Chains A and B, each alone.
Chain A
Amino acid sequence: MTNPILEVSGLNVVFRGARRPIPAVRGIDLRLEPGEVLGLVGESGSGKSVSMRAALGLLPATARVTGSVRFLGEELLDKPPARLRALRGARMSMIFQDPMTALNPVIPIGEQISEAIRIHDRTVDRQEGLRRARDLLDLVAIPSPEHRLRQYPFEMSGGMRQRVVIAIAVANDPELLIADEPTTALDVTVQAQILEVLRRLRDRRRIGMVLITHDFGVIAGLADRVAVMYAGRIVETAAVDELFEHPRHPYTQGLLRATPHINSGVVQGIEGTPPSPNVLTAGCAFAPRCGRAIPACHIDDPVLRPVAGVLAACHVATH
C-alpha cells in the first residue's frame, strides 16, 4: 500500500487578531495520493491558501497551527525550521500567483534555476547546474532554452516567467507541488499553456499536486479529485467527474450554477456574502445563504460524511 504524499488531519489555523483571534481554517482533513492532482476550490475567506501555507510552514508567527500534516509519513508541524527548509524546494514545492515577485530581478534565470538545484545538492557544479536548468526549461515548454538561460525575468512575458517558476519548483524532482492560483493573473491563452505544462508534469513525472483555485474550469481540466472549502472548512470532496455531475453540498451546487459556462452563459448567483472569519456563528457556516437549510443546520455544524460515494458536510444531503 502506497503512502499518501500528503495527509492532513484536523488542521486548524488561528490568527492573532487586533481584538480577538481569527479562525482561518477550522479543522480540515485531506489526502493526496502519488501522481494525483487534488483541486482545492473556494472563494475568498475559504482558507484554501492559508491551509496549504500552514502545511508548508509558510505562515507568520501570528498564526497558531494545530493538528497534523504528514508528508510521506513524516509529521511536519513539529519540525524545526531547518528541517522544513531542507524539505522545501527539494521534496515539496509551492508556486504562487505572481511570478514576478518569486524571481530575483537581477540574476539571470539560468542561474536561479541552477541555484535551486545546488542549494540542495552540493555535489552539483555550476556547469552541471546550467545543463539541468536547460533541460528543465525544455520540460516546461520554453522554446530556445539555451538563449533563455541568460535572460533576466524582465525580458520575459508573464507566462514565461510562471513557467520558469514552475521549473525552479520541480528542479529537484519533488513529490509534492502546491500551486496557489498559478494562472489567475495570466491571459487566457497563456493560462492554457501553463495548465498544459502542469498536465505534462503530472503525466511524465508523477508529481502529486494540490491545485488551489477559485475557477471550476481550471479544476475540470486538471484535477482528479476535488475538495470544496467554505469558511475554513471542507464541505465536499469527490472525484472530479462525480463532483460536476452530482454535487451534493448546496454550496457546491450554488458555485457551479454561478460559474459562467461559455456554451450556455446562464448564471445564477448565491444570495448573501461569505461570512467574515471573526463573526462565525453556531451551526453550518453556509446556512444563512442556503436555500435548503433545516433547523438543525443553524445549531449543529455538520461534519464530512459519506453520501453516494462522496464526502459532504451537510445535514440535508446526508440524512
Chain B
Amino acid sequence: MNELLPSQTVPLLSVRGLVKEFAVRGSALLGAGLPAVQAVSDVSLDLFANETLGVVGESGDAGRCLVRLLEPTAGEIRLRGTDIAKLSPSSMRPLRRHIQIVFQDPYGSLHPRMRAADIIGEPLRLLGVSAAERRAQAIEWLRQVRLSPDYADRYAHELSGGQRQRLGIARALVLKPDVVILDEPVSALDVSIQAGVLSLLKDLQAETGVAFMFIAHNLAVVRNFSDRVAVMYLGKIVEVATRERLYSEPRHPYTMALFSAVPVPSPQQERARQRIVLQGDPPNPSRPPSGCRFHTRCWKAQNICASVEPKLEGQPSHSVACHFPG
C-alpha cells in the first residue's frame, strides 16, 4: 500500500520529460553545433491538490517553464488535461488563470508606480472583471494575506519586504489557480519574518486546496513546508520522496551531502558532526559529466557511474536515480 500519498489520484499538474536548454552565446565553433546549457533535463513530476512539492538544489528555471515565462525546449506540461508546453502566447493566456507564480525578489516583482489594490487586481482583467469588482476583490485579498485594507492605495516602496511578498501572494491567488509556483518566496526576507509568510501560505493552501511547488535552497525551510520533496542536481531529479522518508533516510549521495553541509543552529551538534566533504566544485553546466552527472564528486562512484546514467527508480513514496543508493 502506498504510504502517505496525497488524497487525490488525478494530478492537477503533470510534467513529463521537461527540458530547457539555453544556447551558450558566442562559443560556436565553425561546423560544430552550439553547446547548450541544459538547465532542466528530462524532469517529470506530478502535483496534486492541497499538497506542496518542495524542489531543492536548483534555480527557478523549471518553475518559469511551468508558467510559460520560459519556453520549454521539449517535454509535456499537462494542466487540466491540456498540454501547455507548446501553446502560442494567445492560446496560453486564458489558461494562465490556472497556474501562477510568486517571485523571490520582493522589490523587483511589484510595479513601482502601481498601487497595492491595482497590483492585486491586475490579473482579474483576464476574466473581464469590472474595475469596481477588481478593487473589491483586491481589498478582500488584502485581508486574506493579513494586511490592513488601509494598504490598498499604498505604493510598493512604502511597504516592507514581508508585506510586499504578501502582496505578491495575493496577486498570485486572486485568479484562484490550481497551482502556484513559489520561487524562493522567503529567501530574501529576514528570518523573523519568514515564518509568518510561510504560515500564511499554509493557511491559504488549507482554505483553497491549491497545489504549491516550493523551490528553495534551504533544506530546513523545505522540511517545514513540504509534503513531498524532489532533489535536483544539474537539471536532473536525483531523488523524490515524501518528507518523512527523505529526511529520515536520504538515499542519493548528493542528498546526503546536502544534509551534511547544512549548518545546524546548535553548537554541540556542529562540533560533533561528521561532515561529508564533496570534492571540488559544481561542474560546468554546459559540459555535464557523462553517465551520472554527480559521479565526479561522488565518493561511491564506480565505472558504471561514468558510463550509464541511472534512472529514477523506486516507489512513489521514495525513488532515487543512483546505481548505489544508500
Contacts and interface: CB of A to CB of B under 8 A. Distances in A.
Contacts of B220: 217, 259-262, 265
B263 A191 contact: yes
B9 interface: no
Interface in A240-279: 240-241, 244, 254-256, 258-263, 265-271, 273-274
Interface stretch (B79-87, B130-138, B195-203): B195-203
B257 interface: yes
Contacts of A196: 275, 277
B153 interface: no
Contacts of A188: 217-219, 258, 261-262
A160 B192 contact: no
A259 B265 contact: yes
A67 interface: no
A215 interface: yes
A221 B270 contact: yes
Contacts of A274: 190, 192
A15 interface: no
A251 to B, nearest CB: 8
Given A188-B261, A191-B261, A273-B162, A258 B267 contact: no
Contacts of B192: 43, 254-255, 258, 269-270, 274
Given A265-B223, A269-B193, A244 B257 contact: no
Contacts of A215: 263
A53 to B, nearest CB: 20
A157 to B, nearest CB: 4
Interface string A195-224: 110000000000000000011111111000
A60 B54 CA distance: 43
Nearest to A263: B264
A256 B280 CA distance: 32
B267 to A, nearest CB: 5
A98 B224 CA distance: 29
Q: Which of B259, B263, B275 has the most CB of A within 10 A?
A: B263
Interface residues of A, number: 44
A221 B264 CA distance: 8
Contacts of B263: 191-192, 195, 215, 217-218, 220-221
Contacts of A268: 195
Contact of A241 (B261, B268, B278): B268
A193 interface: yes
A259 B194 CA distance: 9
Nearest to B259: A262
A196 B275 CA distance: 10
Interface in B162-194: 162-163, 190-194
Nearest to A289: B192
A143 interface: yes
A312 B303 CA distance: 58
A297 B193 CA distance: 23
A100 to B, nearest CB: 15
Contacts of B266: 220, 244, 261
A220 B219 CA distance: 17
Contacts of B258: 188-189
B160 interface: yes
17 contacts: A43-B191, A159-B281, A160-B281, A188-B218, A192-B261, A195-B263, A217-B265, A218-B263, A219-B265, A220-B265, A221-B270, A258-B192, A259-B220, A260-B221, A262-B247, A262-B262, A273-B162
Given A188-B261, A258-B191, A269-B196, 11 more contacts: A188-B218, A189-B278, A196-B275, A217-B270, A220-B264, A221-B270, A262-B223, A262-B259, A267-B194, A269-B197, A270-B192
Interface of B: 160-163, 190-199, 217-221, 223-224, 247, 257-270, 275, 277-278, 280-282
Those 10 A-B pairs whose CB atoms lie nearest each other, nearest first = A217-B263, A269-B195, A260-B220, A265-B223, A192-B261, A216-B265, A43-B190, A269-B196, A270-B192, A265-B224
